[in-house]
Structure 1
């Protein structure tokens, strides 16, 4: 139980840092705070995949959903990078690279949790 609380808290803190870094990036680019519109339609690729949890709070499933969310976000920004040109493409490339880094980190966390929970180390 305590390990689960600690890991979920760490994931939550990490996502808060992620949000803050994107807002900081927006402010640097545009010289103003990022407006948050709760009615804004968000692309499906950017939704956290919480529907995959069902009624479970399995740490392994949470870690898996975090990985899939980062992967889908990376793919989304990769598509926007390819569809854009100039500074816009460069901006999406930077965000894509950040999401790729997050994807790699969440995959490592998932594999570590899987090893701890299942007792199986992938080769």
Structure 2
């Protein structure tokens, strides 16, 4: 399955977004910015891999409430510094993002809190 979603406004593709970022950046009712213009996310369609937005000027923005976990760390390399108080490791890991809601914000003030569970997403990467 393709890992990106098309962001559509009036049937026109504005941009694509990776699957692991959709609920962080373009969840339903999110304020989404494209080329300096505001859009309101109306729908995320997992089957069609599309996100439908409408052009709308708003005096607020949205910010997700999330938890990010790093797991399945497989160390491939380690550098221990001479004082033995610090080391640097490199290897494979899994990053899981769980979005459990979003805030409606204006001028860094919380206007509303929406507790809403979105699907968790995970990516395998190196770090």
Q: Under TM normalisation by the shorter chain, which class is it?
A: under 0.3
Bigger fraction of residues in helix: 1
What is the TM-score with the length of structure 2 in the denominator? 0.24
Bigger Cα Rg: 2
What is the TM-score with the length of structure 1 in the denominator? 0.24
Bigger fraction of residues in strand: 2
